[in-house]
Amino acid sequence: MNLRPVGIIGTGMYVPEKVLTNADLEKMVETSDDWIVSRTGIRERHIAAPEQATSDLAYEASVRALESAGLKPEELDLIIVATITPDMAFPSTACILQEKLGAKKAAAFDLSAACSGFVYSLATATNFIGSGMYGNALVIGADTLSRITDYTDRNTCVLFGDGAGAVVLGPVPEGRGFKSFDLGAEGSGGPLLNLEGGGSRLPASEETVKGGKHFIYMNGREVFKFAVRVMASATDEVLRKAGLSKEDIDLFVPHQANIRIIQSAMQRLNLPEEKCVINVDKYANTSAASIPLALVEAAEAGRIQEGDTVLLVGFGGGLTWGAATLVW
């Protein structure tokens, strides 16, 4: 039970400069712009430069979020980085970022929940602040999926991009901030979307490299079915927990994996397009960065007014899902 309301007091985002278009991919694998657009809604994605790692993307987004919150790095209490592409196995990307920012007093850790990671991290930070343990937190969703994508596999390489979105959380006036969260996992679906190599089960070896075990594996059709199901159920549940109805939603911010998954959720909610953030066409699926990139872009474009009710919902590897409602 939280003692005080917690909300978003600063936002920032960053995508790398390099753009990889569907036309570029046509030259790399047997695919077409028409197939990619009609099956996914994706037109282009941003790709990190060779010298950029996840902490570098997270840093750029964080600096902007701190500036927008009017907070100095040394005032930060907590840093959580949601990612499945950390700079290295350890130390955590959050610790690397803490040093880069100069956030000397902040506790720092990574949170692994794939594309649901940002919402999981928001829930975690909200409870830390709501309970009074910390005064503020920097929450970042950052992924460099290009580093774990097999650019000879047309089933996956058209789907992913790189980026980072960051928010600063802090206490907000009564009536504002996060109202409810719904987090969940279906571990039985883990093998449908994973990266097997390089962990303690299958340490890196010549065989794991040759076998492509350091790339994302995905059973697209099964993940699609899971996504459509949990987008609907998590949305219902998070609204119920907040005592809200579908009509109360001013802005719907779904995970940007596939336009068809988003459209199925919008139909079910009976939401007009102007109430839904869609930027999958520009950034593709950026995993943990996807929801914050959509949220921050919408906020910076002036699409969210004070007092608006915003619903975030995502799904991903684990399998996992996460949804949140907040009053802006």
d(CA 185, CA 113): 9
Which one among 138, 158, 313, 324 touches ligand UT7, defined by CB under 6 A? 158
Using CB under 6 A as the criterion, what x/- string covers residues 219-248 for binding ligand UT7?
-xx-xx--x---------------------
Which one among 2, 112, 127, 155 touches ligand UT7, defined by CB under 6 A? 155
Task: List the interface residues with ligand UT7, window 162-221 (CB under 6 A).
Answer: 193, 218, 220-221
d(CA 275, CA 60): 28
d(CA 316, CA 320): 5
Quick check: 151 binds ligand UT7 (CB under 6 A)? Answer: no
Nearer to ligand UT7, 61 or 223 (CB): 223
Buried b / exposed e over 187-196, threshold 16 CB at 10 Å, is eebeebbbbe
Quick check: 27 binds ligand UT7 (CB under 6 A)? Answer: no
Helix orientation angle between 117-130 and 290-300, rounded to the nearest 10 degrees: 70
Q: How far is the CB of 177 from ligand UT7 (least distance, A)?
A: 27
Q: Helix (H, G, I), strand (E, B), or coil: what is residue 110?
A: strand
Q: What angle do CA 269, 273, 275 make, to 5 degrees?
A: 75
Q: For ligand UT7, how many residues bind (rule: CB under 6 A)? A: 20
Quick check: 323 binds ligand UT7 (CB under 6 A)? Answer: no
Quick check: 288 binds ligand UT7 (CB under 6 A)? Answer: no
Using CB under 6 A as the criterion, what x/- string covers residues 296-315 for binding ligand UT7?
--------------------
Question: What are the catalytic residues?
Answer: 115, 255, 285
Q: Helix (H, G, I), strand (E, B), or coil: what is residue 81?
A: strand
d(CA 73, CA 192): 39
d(CA 69, CA 149): 34
Which one among 11, 22, 235, 258 touches ligand UT7, defined by CB under 6 A? 258
User: Is the separation of the CB atoms in 71 and 168 below 8 Å?
Assistant: yes
Which one among 39, 241, 246, 303 touches ligand UT7, defined by CB under 6 A? 39
Binding site for ligand UT7 (CB under 6 A): 31, 35-36, 39-40, 115, 154-155, 158, 193, 218, 220-221, 223-224, 227, 257-258, 285, 316
